[in-house]
Chain A
Amino acid sequence: MSKTFSIGGIHPKDNKISVKAAIENFPVMETAYISMSQHLGAPAEPVVAKGDKVKTGQLIAKANGFISANIHSSVSGTVSAIELMPDLAGNLVQHVVVKVEGDEWDEKIDRSPEIVREIKLSPSEIIAKIADCGIVGLGGAAFPTHIKLSPPPGKKAEFLVMNGAECEPYLTSDYRIMLENPEEILIGTRIMMTALGVKKAYVGIEDNKPKAIKAMKELCSKSYRDIKIVSLQKKYPQGGEKQLIDAILGRQVPSMGLPIDTGVVVQNVGTALAVYEAVQKNKPLFEGVVTVTGKCMTEQRNFRMRVGTTFESMLFAVGGFPKDAEKLVSGGPMMGKAVARIEAASVKSTSALLLLTEEETKRKPEGNCIRCAKCVDACPMGLEPFLLNRLSRAGRIDDLEANLVQDCIECGSCLYVCPANIPLLDTIRLSKASVLKIMRSRPKK
């Protein structure tokens, strides 16, 4: 019997229509627009100037501050500009624009296909290497990985939990890498186990991916006995880190807590692959697997794509903009961001470009709340979205805090199930931000 998390959850149709498409290399574009703000935290500081020649994999921006990450060039060519450009939401972010000339890789990068199994580095060397290579969490939040692998003093990691759930409908990028690079993922997991000093790791995979489970299990039983593959029921949001820990280990992260409070560090399988490439192959994070999919498209593809590719060129590569597509989403349909500017470029954590039709995505007019409690049943954090929505609209910050709005993981389950189409998450997200601001401004006891 597959495991799952204990509270709430929904079952949207998984629509993984691109499962069969093998990963192919996306052609290198003419110009790369590399954002300086590809991770959570402070934007990186460019270390190149206009006119400089850069190679693929060369450092072009340094981490700026504690929570930040290095950024490397994804192409080789000449820096043609360093300027403010709109990101996918239209907000201005500093970009390094590189005019592509050929594809010359940095000579330090090991491009041979052999799998390097032996881990030679010490934990601190591993973490330094990961920081150097600018690895960030590829599960969506893009939190710098080297910080996650260095637990704060006084906290000790017991287990490493790998997220291969891919609970979002449509997405198949994690599935494809688990199928095509299972051993690299397991080595990457071992590297992170070494860095954390933990003895046991779990990989959670939803049971709608039996091939991936089988491939990974076979490898584990042969030579990776300290890593256990856990089959999970298909349920959204299984890939939320708190839900994943609950599903696999039966431990619940306390309110306002982090996974490390329960002795667990959660990483995505995509991150494991990036860590493997960084530590064993010296390859910084400058490309990733991106699913380009949608019901309105004739073909579904999985691309290995350089950072800084514009959404426009992705559309161009799959045959242009389909007529009935009305919304572009970067990431999964439940938590991804709608693309407002197709001239914006992909970032490290871009996992998919999803095209949705009006019928699939358009919101229906809002009705009265009939208090059916579907949102309460769906909430994986055990909150009451209907109440939080009402309190948010009334601006009752104290009551919102008492009803734990700060615990909301913004998974969107409440808005998905609401029969009256009330924009629950829209209002909750807003009030959550103001409650968190007030909570953080309070003196710590």
Chain B
Amino acid sequence: MKKLIVSPAPHLHGKETTKSLMRDVVIALVPSLLVSVYYFGFSAIKLALVGIATAVLVEYVIQRYIVKTKITINDYSAALTGLLLSLNLPPNSPWWIMFIGSVVAIGIAKMTFGGVGQNLFNPALVGRVFLLVSFPVIMTDYSIPSSWFREGIDAGSGATALSIVKESLAKGMTMDQIFSQNDFSYAQMLFSKIGGSVGEVSAFALILGFIYLLIRKVIKPHIPLAIVGTVIVFSGIFWLIDPTHYTDPLFNVLTGGILIGSIFMATDYVTSPMSNKGMIIYGIGIGLITMLIRNWGAYPEGISFAILILNACVPLINMYFKPVRFGKGVKHG
């Protein structure tokens, strides 16, 4: 008689694995990667490769030689962190910046907490913020490197739309003056040649990735929509009050890291809340803090800080915002 397998129910299992989910996120980033290669050429490829290789290598070394646990580099999560970080750097960053960022992201933000699933903060963002405060000059130099695909790009401004606006406002200019001096049309922002980090260049490509993730049911729309909604409402109020000193809502959504942050960073499974209600609260919090930093903070962009701050609140959010329980609040009988 053959030995039968005996196990508790259920006896069937779904097809999704950690690996397949992470791979889907990587696939969703491909459009953005392609656009950035089109605009920034070799530089974008270089950053992505260095980022992924370093992240995977650091994870391997730590798991193999330091903590001596199961190696999990096959599940794409380290590669995803490296890729995301590379898309969050200025296109002209040197390779060693990427290297340091990846080491910090995996070594400090992920592995010290116990590896995949255990980290409190989004590793890619920790890497980025670490670089931003350690190397402020390099990290805010958005000059565009020469590209194989496009020559004679009207480059050189070396600044993002948000920082241009911020600096100009500080000089006492009004919005009309700023917009007349710079070309900030929405079409430009959607398909973009406005300065920004590698992955931010095309809002359209990011939205394409978002749609892919939704179709594959990898993420739910709650967090991105809550963030974007909050940004629109918040900036809309100030814009309506004083259009000469505040940018309009659409400008706010399309520039900077709102889209890449809300679609790929804030929705990171490990560092986002579990219930729908919690996700909305989390999204609103990120949107609010981002706009506070943008309007009144020292940095032109604040979504990285906003996400990290809300990451810290996630355990609390999980504790207080539970899913809708069956049989609660419904009249019986």
Contact = CB atoms under 8 A, between A and B. Distances in A.
Given A326-B2, A326-B4, 7 more contacts: A253-B332, A338-B11, A356-B11, A368-B117, A382-B324, A383-B325, A384-B322
B298 interface: no
Contacts of B6: 327, 338-340
26 contacts: A10-B14, A158-B333, A251-B331, A253-B327, A262-B332, A336-B9, A338-B6, A339-B4, A342-B1, A356-B12, A360-B12, A361-B13, A363-B7, A367-B72, A367-B75, A370-B77, A370-B269, A381-B325, A382-B326, A383-B323, A386-B274, A411-B10, A416-B14, A419-B21, A423-B8, A426-B8
Contact of B323 (A251, A321, A382, A417): A382
B5 interface: yes
A190 B122 CA distance: 60
Nearest to A156: B333
A328 B323 CA distance: 36
A376 B11 contact: no
B154 to A, nearest CB: 43
B326 A371 contact: no
Contacts of B280: none
Interface string A407-439: 100111101111111010110010000000000
Interface string A154-197: 00001000000000010000000000000000000000000000
B100 to A, nearest CB: 26
Q: Which one of A261, A364, A371 has the highest number of Cβ atoms from chain B below 10 Å of its Cβ?
A: A371
**What are the 10 closest A-B residue pairs judged by CB atoms, nearest first?**
A412-B10, A368-B117, A252-B330, A382-B325, A373-B274, A372-B269, A252-B327, A381-B326, A327-B5, A370-B117
Given A363-B7, A384-B322, A255 B328 contact: yes
Contacts, number: 180
A327 B323 contact: no
B257 interface: no
A329 interface: yes
A157 B172 CA distance: 75
Contact of B12 (A342, A361, A377, A382): A361
Contacts of B326: 7, 242, 246, 252-253, 255, 380-382, 407
B5 A358 contact: yes
Given A321-B2, A372-B21, A373-B269, A334 B12 contact: yes
B185 interface: no
B97 to A, nearest CB: 28
A222 interface: no
Contact of A340 (B4, B10, B318): B4
Label chain B's interface by main secondary structure: loop
Interface string B26-51: 00000000000000000000000000
Interface string A92-107: 0000000000000000
A141 interface: no
Contacts of B159: none
Nearest to B77: A370
Contacts of B12: 12, 169, 333-334, 356, 360-361, 416
B140 interface: no
A369 interface: yes
Contacts of A410: 9
Interface of B: 1-2, 4-14, 16-18, 20-21, 72, 75, 77, 114-118, 220, 269-270, 272-275, 318, 322-328, 330-333
Contacts of A380: 326
A263 interface: yes
Contact of B115 (A246, A252, A368): A368
A262 B274 contact: no
B327 A364 contact: no
A363 B325 contact: no
A361 B11 CA distance: 5
Contacts of B330: 251-252
A19 interface: no
A389 B117 CA distance: 15
B255 to A, nearest CB: 30
B332 A376 contact: no
A407 B16 contact: no
A419 B327 contact: no
A7 B276 CA distance: 12
A216 B165 CA distance: 69
A159 B7 CA distance: 37
Contact of A419 (B20, B324, B328): B20
